[in-house]
Amino acid sequence: MITVEPTQVNAWFAGRLPAGWTKVAPEITVDREEITVLLTLESVELGSDASDAERSEAAAGRIAGWRDETREDRMSIAREAEARFERKVSWGAQIGDHNALFTHLAVPVMTRLRQPQRLVLDTLVESGVARSRADALSWCVRLVGRHSEEWLTELQSAMECVRAVRQQGPA
């Protein structure tokens, strides 16, 4: 597995994506297994009297159409990026608050939990909150991520600074 800097991936996609796909830079997330490219599409013009449900349906329709229209091009770009960065490429689109991810990975992660942590997962399963321990653990990670977003953002910024210092090397 090659080391990939998120800035390299962002720059590559900025140069490779067709100009007409979006007027806003894509949101690109990189981890050890996957690159997720989330594009912001133009919103659907509805009358001012349109309900939130109508706007959501219009956005879903626009995203579905865009997904079908761009499938071949997205697959070609993904193959190029996968060869270059040695990671799978996943795609998504968003309009306002409505977003859809397609072709994204669900990667198994090995973990060791002691009985108190397993009991938490089992309680979530037995209560019907989760279907399995894996689903319960995913639910817990999403919950922690949602409630500690500011802290995680600060930690990621600090990691970016460390990466920059490592790239510079000794003075």
pLDDT of 159 reads 86
Please spell the DSSP secondary structure of 29-97, one letter per residue.
Answer: EE-SSEEEEEEEPPPP---TT--HHHHHHHHHHHHHHHHHHHHHHHHHHHHHHHHHHSSEEEEEEEETT
pTM for the model: 0.72
Percent of the chain at pLDDT above 70?
A: 99
Provide the residue ranges of all domains of the chain, joining segments of one domain with +. 1-106, 108-171
Residue 28: which residues within 8 A CB-CB, separation 6 or more? 6, 9, 10, 13, 35, 36, 37, 38
CA angle, 31 as apex, 27 and 71 as ends, to 5°? 55
What angle do helix axes 133-147 and 149-168 make, rounded to 10 degrees? 80
pLDDT of 2 reads 77
pLDDT digits (tens, 9 = 90+) for 9-36: 999 999 999 988 988 999 999 998 999 9
pLDDT over 80 at 171, yes or no = no
Q: Of 41-50, 60-69, 117-126, 134-143, where does the model show the most confidence?
A: 60-69
pLDDT digits (tens, 9 = 90+) for 121-151: 999 999 988 999 999 999 998 888 887 878 8
